[in-house]
Amino acid sequence: MKISIFGAGRVGTSVAFSILHKAVADEIVIVDINLEKAEGEALDLYHGTPFFKRCDVKAGTSRDIKNSDIVIITAGAAQKPGETRLDLTVRNAKIMKDIASQIKEYAPDSLIINITNPVDVLTYLLWKETGFESGRVIGTGTILDTARFRSLVARNCDVSPTSVHAYIIGEHGDSEFVVWSNAMIGGVQLSKFCSFCEKESCTSLEILFEETKNAAYKIIQKKGATNYAIGAVTSTLVESIVKDEKRVWTPSVLIDDIYIGYPAVIGRDGVKRIVKIDLDEEEQGLFERSKNIVREFVSKII
Nearest to 102 by CA among 129, 78, 133, 70: 129
Asked whether the beta carbons of 263 and 275 are under 8 A apart, the reply is yes
Asked whether the beta carbons of 250 and 115 are under 8 A apart, the reply is no
What residues form the annotated binding site for substrate? 79, 85, 117-120, 145-148, 226
Whether residue 201 is predicted with pLDDT greater than 70 in this model: the reply is: no
The CA–CA distances, whole Å, from 201 to 7, 194, 205 equal 43, 11, 12
The CATH homologous superfamily to which domain 2-139 belongs is: NAD(P)-binding Rossmann-like Domain (3.40.50.720)
pLDDT reported for residue 241? 98
Domain ranges of the chain: 2-139
Identify whether 172 is a catalytic site residue.
yes
pLDDT digits (tens, 9 = 90+) for 137-190: 999 999 999 999 999 999 998 899 999 999 999 999 999 999 999 999 999 999
Positive or negative torsion for Cα 93, 223, 40, 230: negative
Q: Strands, DSSP E only, in the chain?
A: 2-6, 27-31, 56-60, 70-73, 111-114, 137-139, 164-165, 168-169, 177-178, 184-185, 188-189, 247-249, 252-255, 258-261, 264-267, 270-274
pLDDT digits (tens, 9 = 90+) for 96-142: 999 999 999 999 999 999 999 999 999 999 999 999 999 999 999 99
pLDDT reported for residue 32? 97
Over the chain, what is the mean pLDDT? Answer: 94
Comparing 91 with 73, the larger pLDDT belongs to 73
What residues form the annotated binding site? 11, 32, 37, 76-77, 79, 85, 115-120, 140, 145-148, 150, 165, 226
pLDDT reported for residue 86? 73
Q: Which of 106, 107, 129, 172 is catalytic?
A: 172
Q: Strands 2-6 and 70-73: what pairing?
A: parallel
What residues form the annotated binding site for beta-D-fructose 1,6-bisphosphate? 150, 165
pLDDT reported for residue 200? 62
